Amino acid sequence: MGRDIAPGGDGPLNDRQRCALSNEEDSVAEVTSIERASTMWELVEARAAASPDAVALIEDDREITFKQLRDLSERVAAGFHEFGMRHGSRVTWQLPTRIETVVTSLALARIGAIQNPIIPIYRDREVGFVLQQTDAEYFLIPGDWNGFDFNAMAGRIIAELGIDPTVMIAYDALPQAEPYTLPPAPTAGDEVRWIYYTSGTTSAPKGVRHTDQTLMAGGLGLADALYLTVEDVGSIAFPYAHIAGPDYLMMLLYRGCGAVLIESFALDVAVELFSRKGATMAGGGPAFYQMYLAKQRTQPTEKIIPSLRLLSGGGAPKPPEMYVEVMAEMGIPICHGYGMTECPMIAQSGPNDTEAQLMYTDGKPVTACEVRIVTLEGVVALTGEDGEVRLKGPMVFKGYTDESLNKDAFDENGWFRTDDLGHLD
């Protein structure tokens, strides 16, 4: 099954993705001390201890190891704390994909702030709605970035809505202080400290409530499905503020591999950087797959990214013929996945799947995700029979910020109703 449905997540069932899942069971890897971490910050600490000198993030010619990432994030957490942020402070951030953004998010996790990431492409209407509904105390922005003045937008929103968040630039320079000034890190991984919003193309955006543990479970499911090792180098060419951002970061922390960050995607820039840095996994979704394939066709006798071993992503249905063309012309598989804002990982194809699975399904349900297909008559569907996809598991969200939406979101047995149409093979 596979696609992230955060954009336009409220459409009717018949307008939603039809998808197929493999019902084969994944083998569960031996639980390690890293996998026993109960909060995101505990996971950061565990990985820094296990792989201190391994490269975690790469951006242009900058690199940061897992230990450096931990240390810098803690210093920035102390800087934020000195600025007034506390456990439970409501912090909205609208930042591009770069090392400082990951550091900012981890620093807020170290404090225990309630984070509300917003994708940088959103403007006054969407941002104002979110700032007002979350009652944000702080609004972190990049300043003047990519031809747009975020400072001016913040000023307009504050004046129009009469709200009063503290606006801070969090781009090149982040506040830092000595970590000993910080209180102990939060230990409750089941506390709601993340709010992501659906795009609201068919109605008002919906605030989706997550915990460290729901996001960690999604990332572990992705890591298990893709069989990454410490030798792999991934890539984050999509907005890190998307629900897929923590998915990907948790995967890196669980497996000890790094990733190349792309702040503003341009195909030629990405291909050159991924080649130079030895990226083994790229993608993001079918539009990305098609761009890489088109680039490969300009030099059919030479691989555009020699180190690449697979494409992976979600966000939209993957045509079977796209898998065939990429495999034939690039020599690597597409491992497509399925997730949504409310459940960041549902199913994911892996490099060990059969050709038929990779072509015609979006993989098996990821580790610990339970999938049930329910027909329009309300009964559990037979194998191969279409119905509504319903979910249970540790990666499922903790309800909407608007509690009136929760009754219809879950059935009488506690299964989340995705409104997606699919089947188990």
Q: What is the pLDDT of residues 152-194, one digit of tens each?
A: 999 999 999 999 999 999 999 999 999 999 999 999 999 999 9
| pLDDT tens digits along 207-260 | 999 999 999 999 999 999 999 999 999 999 999 999 999 999 999 999 999 999
pLDDT band of residue 205 (cuts 50, 70, 90) is confident
Q: What is the distance of C-alpha 186 from the center of its chain?
A: 22
Q: What are phi and psi of 299, to 5 degrees?
A: -145, 70
Which has the closest alpha carbon to 11: 188, 291, 201? 201
The larger pLDDT score, comparing residue 248 to residue 13, is at: 248
What is the percent of the chain with per-residue pLDDT over 70, rounded to a whole number? 92
- Average pLDDT estimate for 191-209: 87
Place of tokens 């996998």: 35
**Weakest-pLDDT range from 3-12, 17-26, 120-129, 346-355:** 3-12
Cα distances (Å, whole numbers) of residue 389 to 161, 383, 384: 38, 13, 13
Within 8 A by CB and 6+ apart from 15, the residues are none
DSSP-assigned beta bridge partners for residue 424: 21
What is the percent of the chain with per-residue pLDDT over 90, rounded to a whole number? 89
Query: Which pLDDT value is given to residue 35?
Result: 76
- Given a cut of 60, whether residue 7 has pLDDT beyond it is no
| pLDDT tens digits along 349-401 | 999 999 999 999 999 999 999 999 999 999 999 999 999 999 999 999 999 99
Which has the closest alpha carbon to 124: 163, 157, 96, 165? 157
- As a whole number of angstroms, the distance between CA 397 and CA 412 comes to 17
- As a whole number of angstroms, the distance between CA 242 and CA 56 comes to 19
Query: Which pLDDT value is given to residue 23?
Result: 53
Query: Which pLDDT value is given to residue 33?
Result: 81
pLDDT band of residue 17 (cuts 50, 70, 90) is very low
- Given a cut of 90, whether residue 14 has pLDDT beyond it is no
Query: Which pLDDT value is given to residue 201?
Result: 56
Over the chain, what is the mean pLDDT? 92
Query: Which pLDDT value is given to residue 19?
Result: 57
pLDDT band of residue 202 (cuts 50, 70, 90) is low
| pLDDT tens digits along 320-349 | 999 999 999 999 999 999 999 999 999 999
Q: Residue 393, exposed/middle/buried by CB under 10 A (0-12, 13-18, 19+)?
A: buried
